[in-house]
Every structure is written in structure tokens, then in C-alpha cells.
Amino acid sequence: MGRLDDKVLLLTGAASGIGRASAIRAAREGARLFLTDVVAAGLEETAKRVTEQGAEVEFRAADISDEQQARASVAACVERFEKLDVLCNNAGIIAYERVHEMSLAFWRRILSVNLDGTFLMTREAIPHLLKTKGAIVNLGSTAGLSGLAYGSAYSASKGAIHAFTRAIAVEYAEEGLRANSICPASIQTGMSGTAKLPKAAKLELLNRLASLQGAAGPEVIADVVVFLASDEARFITGTEIRVDGAALA
């Protein structure tokens, strides 16, 4: 018996990193999966790996910061599997810039994907999650709990996700819907390795949020995603779980 047997999980940002690791982990626990991402090739590869685990999977290339695409993704998931038990909002982007040099377009792009996308997917999913007394798992960050130098837009988006998640937990607790967020730090993903820093950036400021145990693979986050999605976490809602190797301890 898997911990997610018969549960339908909709996962955004599934083309790589934490999203791919979470999809594979959930498949091993018996979940049926609907996967989305803007990177079609990576999404197809993740779907292939999930299928190799014996799981039912459907995937759809989509930009969840677009209202119509977010709505269509949730609708397609429910049409395919006839229900929705878990929404995992994992899709996100990061970029660095000093605040006084930051354009409004830069700021809005980060918040559009990270925060607006989380809101849009959540709004569309809640009516279905209420029917199954399901769960929402949002990917926040330690950057939403403590200052990330040069990453103010990213920090703002993740801090807002934590507050949004807590509000959902309170609003829908009596109706059986749970909502929690995960706060990773020092996770080895493609996103974390490609973002460029501003000139003259001080690495010691960035290292304030580094794990004291060194970097970890995305599988450590996938384990927590599965736990929060499962009935084992049935009385956990409205909380942030740090997976940061004592970075903020």
C-alpha cells in the first residue's frame, strides 16, 4: 500500500528539480499525476520517468501565471482523473538584482510566476479539493522567512506565499481542506545554479541562508511533499516546514 494510493496530484513546475523529484516520489507512493511546466521537453521526460514507476500520468505544457492556462490545466486534470486530491504549487523562478536598479518589469515577472501562478492554480483547484477534503502543498523558501540579499522580489513572492497559505488553512479548515508550505534552502536544482548575481555582489550576504549540512538533492523536498500530501499529515495545516539543514535554526 502506497501513502498516496488512489490520490490524484496536480504538480506544477514538473520539468526538473524539485518538481521532477516530487513527481517520481509521489508515483512510487501510488499517486495518479497531472504534471505542468512551461518547458515541454523536460515535462515529457518527467512523465516518462513517472510512467516507468507504473503510475498513471497526464501532462500539459502551460504557463500557470496566465489565468486561462491555469484554469485549463485544472480543468484538464479533473476531466482526465475525475477528481483532484492534492495541488502542489512548485513552479517558480528566481533572479537577482539590487533594489535601486530593479525595473518594474523585473519585479512583476518574479511575482507573476511565483505568486500569481500559485494564486491562480489554487483558486481553480479549491472547489475540487473541497469535494475530496484534499490538500495544498506550496513551495515557499527560507528566503520568505529571512532576508535574501539581491533577491528582494523572490523573497517578497515567497513570503507572500507563506502568508497566503496560512490564510487558506484558516479559511477552509472547517471544510476539511489543508494547506501547508515548505521552505527549502541549499537544494541542488537547475534554477539555483543558473541565476546571475549583480556586479560586486557579496557572497557572504547570500551565504547567510546556506545550509550548515551542505547542499542536498531535490529528493529531500520530495519526501516532505509526499508526507504533507498524505493522510499521515491529516492534522497539519497552516504551517511552514523548513527543510534547510539548520540554516535558520
List residues with catalytic annotation: 154
The whole-angstrom separation of Cα 137 and Cα 31 is: 15
Of residues 165, 11, 19, 143, the one with CA closest to residue 81: 11
The whole-angstrom separation of Cα 150 and Cα 140 is: 17
The whole-angstrom separation of Cα 140 and Cα 192 is: 14
The whole-angstrom separation of Cα 167 and Cα 220 is: 26
Residues in the chain: 249
Helices (H), 97-185: 104-111, 117-132, 152-172
- DSSP letter for 236, please: -
